[in-house]
Structure 1
């Protein structure tokens, strides 16, 4: 007996030739013999809650909150609300993203064709049961393991499992495994291993999981957090020791030390990053764009070369038959074409257009052998007993270079029409299609001219990428002259010099040189598409690849970002990181814009939070060395952080941002945060130290002076980060300043936050120091890049000199 996926036996009789019956399907469902691999587009609800609540920063802040509740006043424990806010907002945003992804995953999931009760039907992948008879056609993805029961030239690409690029011809009795896909022909197989028993089940589950890892952005943030974690421990020890020796009492010492440690924690950085990504997923989901891996948003923002396939991207998936041009009166080309269209069990869009456009009934020829279409061969064929063997495919593949019919086909193709050929070949030659030299014996009978439907949104989309500095390469399997004509009609730069990929050099460096000079390539095979992606990557390009056919799968997998059309084959959707469910090329600019918004805004937010971490570390070190009381209560820093970091960061993280993504996230943030944090920390401590040395003042007045100085500097840092300025960004900075003034002006608010500015001399001195530091910081940030460039240029010049 065949073993079931849950360890039991197959219930009921074996599947007959017409597939399982409804009763047998029910029995298998009840026995748990279903393809029960869970759909993992995101973390589960429990995982989301744990990931947002049980964090090391929540644990640290929670411990400090307990200390304040024991030794201090409740107003100084306001920072404890960060735990609730961070966790709640993070959970809510990720749940929103999860709902969006789960909904889109169902829409974008490819159904499986099965034979049940002698009728073909489509069922979701999870409803396939053990023993189902599964039907396969070109482009279908194999979701469970089984044994082939029928084959009509069925060729399976197992490269994603084995690494072998050549498709494997399958005959009845051969095994097929999940994770592979059909590239030619058709057939059927019986499901023998379903659910978690299937070979690629775990791989597929991992590949489709919503992920926050493996991106420059997240790795950079994790590096920041690692550095901060290592710094906090020794500085916290130093701060606690200094406060115990300088404060008037143990409670004052504990409160001061807690204030310094809490400020070091960039508690909102991870939260804002998660929110920005989650909102990006939701926004793209509303545009029917399924993001299967989160770093894909970041990836497309960094792309500088976009490789597109003509069919399905620049043109609509369907075509229309324009005309059939007879070439020889003694050959029945039109009848042969009708017979080929009628005998194709799994017609591709080209053959469907021919079948619909001929408008004639098939001649009734009986096929004694067929060769399915393959993107590697670029032709299909069939043999019809006494009517001979016929092939149908590209004119420049089937016909010799000196054939007058090929010249005529190229003339038609130069206008943007797609031209194919029906040709007769020697009887019996189709028995070995892999070794057949079709150009040697093909007798052209007719040219088949097809009109392609240009996508209305393609011109505007191509213009957008040109304006954004993204090179577009059209990589197609069609005739290069025809592809060039279509690209010219869309005003693609370089379209007037199309390249026949069969003339491309094999070396990576040589191919990269050709790719740098040309933008349109025709007659590109599946392996060449993959090689072209690697050649572009070898020159440092970040490459995105779009496609919808099985011949695009390998290139989609190797590209930095794979983008599949929703109407594409199941195989392309399985390997792509982004699926355009509405099949609209015009969605790509929205994805680019969303990626740039996320990356640019997170960099702004990181600048804010890391500046706070730097100035808090400097303040803690200076306090520890000088042995004075820490200049702030926790409530002071809660107010300042909320007005100069928390609220502005939330607004900036979700704002539009068209800036192009650049590499070097960590160095850029550090180049801003370290000088900005140093300016804030040193200037604030200087003003506070001068205030403590003047007689007649107390800690309340001295700490208010320090708060005033730090707020002014932090607000100036916010203004610098908000550039380029516009009305709402300047308004945001002004609103935060007005809120601080309101706290000082309203008695009960100033009492609540323990702000009692009383010494005008101290306040004026501190403000003067803060304003001077703001000017110096602005000059430094303006001049430092210029000086760095000059130093680099000088070093290059010195290295180039003999």
Structure 2
């Protein structure tokens, strides 16, 4: 507690019990250094292992021990047994991809761990009579922990000091109304302070604390639900079920009907099964997310949950809190307009009001800076500022025994509707200025009607500091089709003026939230039309988020104060400022550690890059799955040998999917993510896979009738491989659009690599590819060209018939 608070505590109000919040209690010195050492020795410390990411062992386990790595591993071992080694190349590809996934996620872990240290909550504890900030893990049983507005309660305890201490326990109980805590009452970890100051003694620390497990989960690098991952898992589930009967059909067909030797039958079966598995898709998704985390980490943006990157890509409405987002935290007193009395008298009262609050907000801090306390008035009782009531107050003892109650807050709340002074206030608000009313009250501070019938004394005109980067950020959202809505507790006209100055569309028609309908559906209709809302209460912010979600909007909410916590928690994506309260940082999925609103476009762009590119490359992977299933079915039905060896499909997958997908997944992409991931991918993958598979099978049948004699199977396979490669390459060429120089170079490089394999003798031998004659190879090319034309027609038709 400050020296100013200590002095205030020596002057209790007359008449026994205080009227507002009680006079501050004498300072308790807290534990001594010896007592702290004794508790540490006994292990009575807050040793909850708060982690920002998975451990290195968990990362390796998650990337190595997967269902499909197990399937691939078994098939790889089988090939190692029956040989030759080049038919087991797919196993080395899996090893390489898994290694890339592990390395990238370890890099992401390092980034997250470093950022988490920066954003870690550091509670203020009182030891040996001195207040100091310490890491959460160093709190011990019996520590005296100080609390102020925005602080999160990190351990369970018992209130020792309460100076109007109001705690919001909604995250634990669901009750939105703050609870006034008196000495002797319990406080629960996971709650947070909305008003007043106080201190409590820690009674449960570490894993015994009520919300310890929740706190650990809240700050962990998690892979929670996302449409992208759910869609991929759904696809993989279906592929798994298709693999089993296909494998049985292939092995029986080759062994019993065709009479191939066991090792040859196994190789053909493995060749038919392996390409069905879009193994790289899961890995590539993890890599894309991990690289996104690293990129954002370099911009001082902490992503507390990976799917938050995906979520922001889907956002179409972003709700902004004016203070700390569009404006900087500080303010300056521009003018003092006296309504009753003289300026010196009002300045003295303002100085005393500022001295009453040990943790002033930005508005009161501006008043304190302009009018420091001179000791003329002394604070005996005080009423902390609350976002719900829009004012603070104090009972002051002045010269000549004068004793009066004073309020400082929103003029349109303290003055009755129609008061002539509100006209002047509206004029000031229209200029983007913030106005506070200093008023004298004849009622006690604990009177629910304390604001009724007050006597206005002065208007305090505050000038807000606009963020220089805000206009560009708002312009970015407008260009990207994301609606920006300013939701503030300040006067609606003032907020509208600030938003208009920053160029926000719709700012010229601000809405006073006190006039909004209570019913969420009706409120949502107003929310869709308007862009600026003022005089919004914390509960209304929450209701507004819910209303927008009712209209099928994906909502992001930004904020830094305790009044934003409920809305941040309910929004699809919560974005907190690093300098904001501990409570906001705890519930947000994304924390902007540099406190720059201008970082948000980078986060949105990163999300769009990840999900847009994964959707793009997923079509490549699933096209391969479709044509692999089709070829396996056709071969089994026609009772002919499977046309490919594993090495052929490893080569094709690497050149038409693996390498290109890695580059495409990391490319820039500004397209806003759309829902229905599985449907959007399969509408292209199914026809593409069918056309590609049928073209390859047609070439294979034609080659079987053309080539005869020993070694004909190798020639047939080579012709079918040529058609399959060219058709798959055309799918890649379509997916790579719109073309840039590097995308064209990527497609050409893959084509050149295949030509190099065909032209190099030892590579021909290694991959068992040898084009025989000229007639059949050119026929294979012709069939591939027909397939390419059909692919173009189909993609254009699907785009028109089933728009995204």
TM range (shorter): over 0.9
- Structure 2 counterpart of 1:170, from 171, 178, 181: 181
1:601/1:654 contact within 8 Å kept = yes
Question: In 1, Cα distance between the equivalents of 2:108 and 2:32?
Answer: 39
Deviation at 1:295, TM superposition (A): 0.9
Equivalent runs, 1:64-143 vs 2, <5 Å: 64-143=75-154
- Partner SS for 1:384: strand
Match of 2:568 in 1: 556
Cα distance in 2 for partners of 1:702, 1:167 equals: 77
Residue range with higher mean Cα deviation, 28-37 or 601-610: 28-37
Q: Match of 2:388, SS? A: coil
| Structure 1, gaps ≥5 residues long | 1-15, 793-802
Q: Counterpart in 2 of 1:399?
A: 415
Q: Would you say the 8 A contact 2:684–2:798 is kept in 1?
A: no
1:348 to 335, 354, 361: 361
**Superposed displacement of residue 316, structure 1:** 0.0
The CA deviation string for residues 568-599 of structure 1, in whole angstroms up to 9 with x for no partner, is: 11111111110000000100100010000000
Q: 1:506 aligns with which of 518, 532, 538?
A: 518
1:96-127: CA deviation from partner (whole Å, max 9, x where unpaired) = 11111111111111210110111110011111
Equivalent in 650, 653, 656 of residue 641 of structure 1: 653
**Equivalents in 2 of 1:570, 1:65: separation in Å?**
51
Instruction: Please give the secondary structure, in 1, of the residue aligned with 2:384.
Output: strand
Q: Which residue of structure 2 lines up, in the alignment, with residue 763 of structure 1?
A: 777
Q: How does 1:421-570 map to 2 (within 5 A)?
A: 421-427=437-443, 429-432=444-447, 435-438=448-451, 440-570=452-582
CA shift digits 1:714-765 (9 cap, x unpaired)? 1001001111111111110000000000111111111111111113222222
Counterpart check, 1:147 vs 2:161: no
1:336 aligns with 2:352: no
Which residue is 2:319 aligned to? Answer: 307
Shift of 1:788: 4.9
Q: C-alpha separation between the residues in 1 aligned to 2:113 and 2:383?
A: 40
Aligned positions of 1:404-419 closer than 5 A: 404-419=420-435
1:143-292 equivalences under 5 Å are: 143-244=154-255, 245-246=257-258, 248-292=260-304
Deviations 1:142-167 (A, max 9, x none): 11000000000000000000000100
Of residues 590-599 and 326-335 in structure 1, the stretch that sits farther from structure 2 once superposed is 326-335
1:378 aligns with 2:395: no
1:12 maps to which residue? none
Partner SS for 2:439: strand
Q: What whole-Å deviation, never above 9, does each CA across 1:612-633 have from its counterpart, x for those lacking one?
A: 1111111111111111111111
Which one of the candidate residues 691, 715, 736 is aligned to 1:701? 715
Counterpart CA distance in 2 for 1:141 and 1:411 is 39
- How far residue 517 of structure 1 moved from its aligned partner, in angstroms, is 1.5
1:50 matched to which residue of 2?
61
Distance in 2 (CA, whole Å) between partners of 1:247 and 1:306 is 65
Cα contact 2:348–2:376 (8 A) shared by 1: no
Deviates more, 1:317-326 or 1:565-574: 317-326
**1:735 pairs with 2:746:** no
Query: Higher mean Cα deviation, 243-252 or 575-584?
Result: 243-252
In the TM superposition, residue 431 of structure 1 has moved relative to its aligned partner by: 2.5
Q: Once the 2 structures are TM-superposed, how far is the Cα of residue 787 of structure 1 from its aligned partner?
A: 4.0
8 Å Cα contact 1:501/1:522 also seen in 2: yes
**Retained in 2: the 8 A contact 1:459–1:491?**
yes
Output the TM-score relative to the length of structure 2. Answer: 0.94
Tell me if the contact between 2:731 and 2:791 (Cα under 8 Å) persists in the aligned partners. Answer: no
Pairs within 5 Å for 1:5-16: none
1:699, 1:364 → 2: CA distance? 104
Contact 1:394/1:419 (8 A) holds in 2 = yes
The match for 1:679 among 668, 675, 691 is 691
Residues 405 and 444 in structure 1, CA contact (< 8 A), matched pair in contact too? no
Partner Cα distance (1:63, 1:342) in 2? 74
The correspondence for 1:591, drawn from 582, 599, 603, is 603
Instruction: Give the Cα separation in 1 of the matches to 2:327 and 2:158.
Output: 38
Of residues 443-452 and 23-32 in structure 1, the stretch that sits farther from structure 2 once superposed is 23-32
Residues 1:47 and 1:788: Cα distance change in structure 2 (over 3 Å): closer
CA contact (8 A) 2:153 2:192 kept: yes
Return the offset for 1:330. Answer: 6.7
Do the aligned residues in 2 keep the contact of 1:247 with 1:628 (CA within 8 Å)? no
> How far 1:55 sits from its partner (Å)?
1.1
Q: Aligned partners of 1:786 and 1:85: how far apart in 2?
A: 39
- Residue 740 of structure 2 corresponds to 726
Q: Structure 1-normalised TM-score?
A: 0.94
Q: How big is the shift at 1:50?
A: 0.9
Deviations 1:57-82 (A, max 9, x none): 11111111111112121111111102
Taking only aligned residues, the RMSD between alpha carbons, in angstroms, comes to 1.5
Q: Provide the C-alpha distance between the structure 1 equivalents of 2:151 and 2:252, rounded to a whole number of angstroms.
A: 68
| Aligned partner of residue 445 in structure 2, secondary structure | helix
User: Quick check: 1:305–1:543 contact (8 Å CA) kept in 2?
Assistant: yes
Partner of 2:726: 712
Match of 2:8 in 1: none
Which residue pairs with 2:7 in the alignment?
none
Shift of 1:783: 1.6
Task: State how far apart, in whole Å, the 2-side matches of 1:566 and 1:623 are.
Answer: 60
Deviation at 1:30, TM superposition (A): 2.2
CA contact (8 A) 1:368 1:384 kept: yes
Q: Which residue of 2 aligns with 1:17?
A: 28
Taking the aligned partners of 1:788 and 1:591, their CA distance within structure 2 comes to 30
CA offsets 1:163-207 (integer angstroms, 9 cap, x no match): 001000000000000100000000000011111111011112222
State the Cα distance separating 1:437 from its structure 2 match.
Answer: 4.7
Matches within 5 A, 1:600-639: 600-639=612-651
Aligned to 1:795: none
Q: Structure 2 vs 1, CA of residues 279 and 695 (structure 1 numbering), >3 Å: closer, same or farther?
A: closer
Deviation at 1:27, TM superposition (A): 2.0
Name stretches of at least 5 consecutive residues in structure 2 with no aligned partner: 1-26
SS of the residue 2:382 aligns to: strand
